[in-house]
Amino acid sequence: MKWLLVFLFHSTVILGLTVVSQIGGVVYLVCLLLARYVFHWSVQKQVLLFFSAYTIAIFLIVPKIALYFEREPLPIFGNSLRPLTMVTYVLNRHYVHSQLKEIIEEKASLIARRYPGTVTYYLDANFPFINGFPLIPHLSHKDGKKIDLAFYYKSKDNKQYVASSPSWIGYGVYDAPKLTEVNWPERCGEQGYWQYSATQYLVPSWSEGKYEVEEERTRFLLQSLAKTKNIQKVFLEPHLAERWGISSLDKIRFHGCHAVRHDDHIHVQIH
């Protein structure tokens, strides 16, 4: 009976690590087999081996192998472009096709030149390997050609730009429709698409009252993306596209009720 529980425990860990980080499950399995059957190490040493091997893998090995899958990691400590949370790169969720990397880096430096001190934060992109391997819960982020970007924000008190976000993961704090605006979150909810506004449950709303979207920078980024040849489409909630006067740009699209709402982040994809 004990072996069954041990087997179930390790299987669950391997599955969970694979789902959230793609390579964590493989690293765990190799470390487990080596530590148990080759080195005969204690559990503490096994854990230490896993964390050491995983760290070496994500920083030194994975970026090199990812090149064979035409994917590269985005910068993690850049001045003008970096992840909103370190969880993104610790879990290998910051890999993109080289062409998308070039575009995002170019947009981030364009914004930083126009608005000095501005940081473009990226959210979930793609895993490093294998076309078709989805980055759950983003089912379409599976080919290196998709990325989510955070909005830019300002302080509600003094209206000054802040290099931060009301949500620590960038998702789940919405710039919701006003009374007179088109309200797709409500329509989708009424049609039974319960997942449409589900990201609000992912994050605590401690900072919700502190920040509001900095429209000028966010609109400028969206306009620039929509004018870029290799960009296929950009998803944004229709009430924001209308409010910001960019609904006529043909690459700025509504994604439909089957997705999650996009009044908390921008989804970008290339051809």
Nearer to Zn ion, 17 or 260 (CB): 260
CB of 146 to Zn ion, least distance (A): 5
Question: Which of 50/235 has CB closer to Zn ion?
Answer: 235
Beta strands 153-155 and 120-122 are: unpaired
d(CA 237, CA 222): 12
Tell me the C-alpha distance between 258 and 195, whole Å.
Answer: 8
- For the CB of residue 138, give the shortest distance to Zn ion in the complex, in Å: 5
Residue nearest to Zn ion (CB): 267
Q: List interacting residues with Zn ion (CB under 5 A).
A: 138, 148, 267
In the complex, minimum distance from the CB of residue 59 to Zn ion, in angstroms, rounded to a whole number? 25
> How many C-beta atoms lie closer than 10 Å to residue 179's C-beta?
5
93 vs 138, which CB is nearer to Zn ion?
138
CB of 210 to Zn ion, least distance (A): 25
Residues 254, 213: Cα–Cα separation, whole Å: 19
CB of 20 to Zn ion, least distance (A): 17
- Name the residue nearer to Zn ion (CB basis): 17 or 234: 234
How far is CA 264 from its chain centroid?
12
| 8 A C-beta contact, residue 24 and residue 55 | no
Q: How far apart are CA 141 and CA 204, in angstroms?
A: 25
**Cα(40)–Cα(230) distance, integer angstroms:** 53
Of the two residues 154 and 262, which places its CB atom closer to Zn ion in the complex?
262
